[in-house]
Structures are given as structure tokens and as C-alpha cells.
Amino acid sequence: MEQVEMDKKSENLSKIILSILCTIIVIFGTLLIIQNKKYNNSQNNLNNINNTNKLLVLKIQELKEENKKLKNNFRDDDSDNKSLVYLVKDDLKNFILENYKDTSKRVKLEILEEVFIQSEKYNINPILLFAVCSQESSMRPWIRHSFVKVTVPLDIYWKHSKKIDTQAIGLCGVIWEIWKFQLIKNNIAEVKSDLYDPRISVRAMAFILDFYSNQKLAKETNNEIESAITRYFGITKNTKYLDDINKFVGELTRSKIYNR
């Protein structure tokens, strides 16, 4: 009788233990399922984050390309060059290609490219540089001006000088004998004949304008650039050269200014 009761107790205990084990297994399984769902959700979130990052990288690249295109067309207001430009590059390109029939397309494009490079370097509006090129030679790099008598330095510091008869030459009408020491020192030109290279001529012209813009204002001028352009011509009492430059700039920009 006692043995039967003990067997029953043992059986009941086994059932209890088995029930407890089943409960533990169910709980553990449930925890595993929950954990697995969390892991899967984490992986999904991670994948979503990675995909979002990829899209952002592509968008940033797209914006950079768009910004680059805008910089190619317009003067960037955030750059050091604060000159206001009324025309985009394509306008100047179309203008130079449609005019100046004596000059080849290749040379015209070289001139235009160098004008924008030097504009950025010296913070001078490219339209003004373009205007000087047109005024001096009508975009003809091979031109020689009439002989003039000028005072030229015999050394870089102008300690000694003399008067000579010479010519302004090249696209931008630079007088080599006046500027040779400065142009050589600043690695712009080595010899006089370099000034027939349109790119070098534009570099020399921009350098000279920048030099003159730091000098005392010429008479009848209102700002550094007007003064520099007047001095570039060589006769500070005569404003006709500046008037001609202003007239050209006005004709060049007028159609764009009044367009809506």
C-alpha cells in the first residue's frame, strides 16, 4: 500500500517536473522567436540605413555636378571673386564666335578661356578684360600698333630710364620695353615675341591692370578699375579710351540687362 502511494507521488512529481520543463521550453522558445524578430528588424533597419546612405551619396554627387555646371556658367558669389557678371560664358562665347572674322575659332576660344582664368586670379570682371582685348586689337593677336615715344626703365626698379620709339603689340597692346622686367619676374613672358601668344597677352594685360589698380586714382576716374584702364592706355588726361571701353561693355550687356 505504501509502495503504491510512493509510486503515485513519484508519478505526480514527474508530471510536475515535466510540466515545468515544458513551460521553460515554451518560454525559452518564445524568447528566441522574439529575439529573432528583433534581429531581423535590426537587419532590416541596417539595410534601410545603408540604402539611405547610398541614396544620399548619389544625391550629393548629383548636387556637386550641378554646382559645377553653375560655376562654369556664372561667377560664383561665394568665391573670392566678387565681381558682378551680367553675362554667362555662353553669351561671351557666342559673341566672340559671331564677330572678329579675321581670327580663327580656335584662337577665339583660347582668348575667352584665358580671360576667365585671369578674371578669377585678379578679381577683375571678365567682361572688362574681354573689352580691353577687343578695344586693343579687335581680337587679332598678331597686331602691331603705331610707333610711339615712351619712357622705359633700364632696370626693374626704374632707377634709370630712357625714351625710345617702340610699339604696343599683340592681342592686348602691351609695350614690352615698359613691362619686360615685371613680366619676366612674374613668369608671364620671357621675350618680346611671347606677347603675340594670345594667352600670354591676356595674362600680361590682367597683371598690368591689377598693378595699376593699386596706384593713385587717375584724374576723371571714379574707382580703381576705371583708373587702371585709363592708365593702361598710357594717357591719364584722356578719358576717350575709358569711354570706348564703357561703350563696348554697355553694348555687350544691354540686351541681357533689359531682358526679362
Band (pLDDT 50/70/90 cuts) for residue 106 is very high
- Convert the pLDDT of each residue in 112-158 to its tens digit: 999 999 999 999 999 999 999 999 999 999 999 999 999 999 998 88
The whole-model pTM stands at 0.67
Mean pLDDT, to the nearest integer, of 52-68?
Answer: 71
User: Which three-class secondary structure state does DSSP give residue 10?
Assistant: helix
pLDDT at 84: 47
Q: What is the DSSP letter of 6?
A: H
Its CATH class, for the domain covering 89-257, is mainly alpha
79 vs 54, more confident: 54
CA dist., res. 54 & res. 98, Å (int):
46
Mean pLDDT, to the nearest integer, of 42-56?
Answer: 69
Residue 127's H or E segment, with its range, is helix 126-137
29 vs 248, more confident: 248
What b-and-e string marks burial along 194-209, b requiring 16 or more CB atoms within 10 Å of the CB?
Answer: bbebbbbbbbbbbbbb
Q: What percent of the chain has pLDDT over 90?
A: 52
Give the Å distances, CA to CA, from 85 to 74, 132, 253.
7, 16, 9
Domain range summary for the chain, segments of one domain joined by +: 1-73, 89-257
For residue 98, what is its C-alpha cell?
Answer: 559671331
pLDDT at 260: 57
CA dist., res. 199 & res. 118, Å (int):
10
User: Which three-class secondary structure state does DSSP give residue 186?
Assistant: coil
pLDDT at 210: 96
pLDDT at 156: 87
